[in-house]
Amino acid sequence: MAFLLRGAHVVDPQLGCDQVLDVLVDGKSIAAVGEGLQAPEGAEVIEAAGKYLVPGLVDMHVHFRDPGFEYKETIYTGARAATKGGFSDVATMPNTSPVTDTGTGIRYQIDRARHANLVYVHPIGALTKGEKGEELAEIGDMLVEGACAFSDDGHGVQSAGMMRTCMAYVSQFGRAVLAHCEVESLTNHGVVNEGRASTRLGMFGWPALGEELEIQRDIDLARLTGCELHVCHISTARGLELVRAAKAEGLPVTCEVTPHHLFLTEENITESYNTNLKMNPPLRTAADAAALREGVCDGSIDCVVTDHAPHAAHEKECEFEIASFGTVGLECSLPLMLNNLVRKGHMSWQALVEVMAVNPRRVLHLEPVRVEAGSAANLTLIDPERQVKVTPDFIESKSKNCAFLGMTLTGCATDVFVEGKHTLVDGEVAW
C-alpha cells in the first residue's frame, strides 16, 4: 500500500529538517520526500496541511504486564494504548510474572507483539534473576533473542557489588543498563515525597535522597565499568544535577523523565488523596518539577517516557497507603508535552522530537528512523490544534488509573505508520 502525506510540516533534527514537504510511503519504507510530489496510481492521499510529521515516537519505559498480570494490561491492549498516544515503538520493562529474565521470556513478548501487529515492542531484560538483586540473569541469551537493554525496574539493585557485576557484564555487549534508583533502606514504607506532603498527610515519606544516593552510586559504577548508564524516571532537581555533572565529565550517562514528574507535584496529592497520583518515585516539589522542565527543554534530560504502569480498579480504589504504585501514561504523554511546553513556546519542535523519538532509539541502540527516502516508514503525524479530553473512554489501556483524568489538552497524534502500516487513522486505532 502506498500513501502520499501531502503538505505536512516535517521536523527531523537528525537532518536539520523543519519545513513543509510531501512524503511518499511505499511498502515498508519512505520512497520520496520533496515538494509537489505526485501520488502514484492507487496511492492514498492524506492531506496533512497544518500537521507535523516526525519520526515515529518511542516510549522506552512501559509496563505491559504480560505475562502474569494480564488483568491489568496485555501486550495487545498496551499496544493499542501506545498507538493511540502516537507511538510506533515501546520498550517493555521486565517486572512481569515470571520476570522476563530469560531468552524465552524475551521471545514470548516479541511473538505476542508481532501478533498484535501495532507497535514495535522492544523487550528489556532483567539484570538479575527474578529481579531479586542476587544473581545475574541470562543476559547473553536474552540479547540473542532480541532484548534491547537491561533493567531491574521496579527495584533498585540494592547491592553495589551486584550492580557492579551487572554493569561490567552488560558493558561487554555494548548495551545500556536502565537504573531504577532507590535505596530501599531509606524509602522503606514511603508512599509520598518526604517533606511537606508526608507531614501534612501523616504518611510515610519517600525521601529525595533515597533516589539521589543511588544515582550517584550508579554514576560512580559507570565510571568504574565503562557501562552505559541510563537513569530511569528522574524526579529531583539534585538527581538531575548529578546527571549533568556526569555528562560534563564525559561519562556514558543519560536519563529520562515522565510527564507526571514534569507537570504534577506533591501538592496535587495533598488536595485530592487521589491514588492515581501515587507512583514510584513519588511526585516531588514544585521546585523539582520546574528544574526537570528546564532540563527537558535544554537537552540535559535525554528522553521523555511514560512509565506506563497499569493497575486494576481494585488496586487503586482503596486507602492511599495500600494502593499500587503507578499511573498509565501512553495516551496523554504527547498531548501533555504539546499543551504544556511546545504550545507555550518553552520547547521547540526539534527538541520534542529529540526527547520523544531520536534519543530513545539511541539509548536503546535501535536503528535510527529519519524522514528521508530509504528509511523505514515509522512516522507520527501530529495535529497541534486537536483537543483531547482525558476520560476513561479516551484511554485504550485495559486499566484507567491515569493521573491526568479530567484534563482537556490541545495537540495530539492523529496518524501513525509502522513499517508502512497505517496503525492510527485519524485518531482511532486501526485494529
Q: Which residues bind Zn ion (CB under 5 A)?
A: 153, 180, 307
User: Residue 64 annotated as binding?
Assistant: yes
CB closer to ligand NCD, 69 vs 349: 69
CB closer to ligand NCD, 211 vs 415: 211
x/- letters, 135..174, toward ligand NCD (CB under 6 A)? ------------------xx--------------------
* C-beta of residue 126 within 8 angstroms of C-beta of residue 151: yes
Answer for which of 280, 300, 306, 380 binds ligand NCD (CB under 6 A) is 280
Annotate 281-339 with three-state secondary structure: CCCCCHHHHHHHHHHHHHCCCCEECCCECCCCHHHHCCCHHHCCCCCECCCCHHHHHHH
CA-CA distance, 136 to 252, in Å (whole number)?
22
Could you tell me how many residues of this chain bind ligand NCD (CB under 6 A)? 11
Please tell me whether residue 398 binds ligand NCD under the rule CB under 6 A: no
Please tell me whether residue 78 binds ligand NCD under the rule CB under 6 A: no
Please tell me whether residue 133 binds ligand NCD under the rule CB under 6 A: no
User: Residue 250 annotated as binding?
Assistant: no
CB closer to Zn ion, 151 vs 165: 151
Amino acid identity for residue 81 in this structure: A
Answer for which of 4, 30, 192, 279 binds ligand NCD (CB under 6 A) is 279
Answer for which of 138, 288, 307, 354 binds ligand NCD (CB under 6 A) is 307
Please tell me whether residue 320 binds ligand NCD under the rule CB under 6 A: no
CA-CA distance, 357 to 56, in Å (whole number)?
6
> The cell 504518611 sits on which residue?
203
Annotate 144-172 with three-state secondary structure: HHCCCCEECCCCCCCCHHHHHHHHHHHHC
CB closer to ligand NCD, 107 vs 180: 180
CB closer to Zn ion, 256 vs 354: 256
CA-CA distance, 59 to 82, in Å (whole number)?
8
What is the side-by-side order of every strand in the sheet holding 176-179? 150-151, 176-179, 228-231, 253-257, 303-304
CB closer to ligand NCD, 305 vs 358: 305
The least distance separating ligand NCD from the CB of residue 327, rounded to whole angstroms, comes to 7
* Alpha-carbon distances, residue 431 vs 16, 312, 423 (angstroms): 34, 23, 7
Q: Which residue is nearest to Zn ion (CB)?
A: 180
User: Residue 261 annotated as binding?
Assistant: no
Span 169-208, contacts to ligand NCD by CB under 6 A: 180
* C-beta of residue 28 within 8 angstroms of C-beta of residue 377: yes
The residue count for the chain: 431
Mapping DSSP to helix (H, G, I), strand (E, B) and coil, where does residue 75 land?
helix
Amino acid identity for residue 223 in this structure: R
Indicate the helix (H) or strand (E) that contains 414: strand 408-418
User: Residue 260 annotated as binding?
Assistant: no
Output helix, strand, coil percentages for the chain, rounded to the nearest 5: 35, 25, 40
Please tell me whether residue 315 binds ligand NCD under the rule CB under 6 A: no
Catalytic (active site) residue 302: no
CA-CA distance, 302 to 298, in Å (whole number)?
10
The number of helices, as runs of H, and strands, as runs of E, in the chain is 15, 19
The least distance separating ligand NCD from the CB of residue 212, rounded to whole angstroms, comes to 16
Please tell me whether residue 74 binds ligand NCD under the rule CB under 6 A: no
User: Residue 233 annotated as binding?
Assistant: yes
List 307, 383, 393, 426, catalytic entry = 307
User: Residue 180 annotated as binding?
Assistant: yes
User: Residue 95 annotated as binding?
Assistant: yes
Interface residue list for ligand NCD (CB under 6 A): 63, 95, 153-154, 180, 279-280, 307, 309, 325-326
* Binding residue ranges: 61, 63-65, 95, 153, 180, 233, 280, 307, 311, 325-326
Catalytic residues: 307
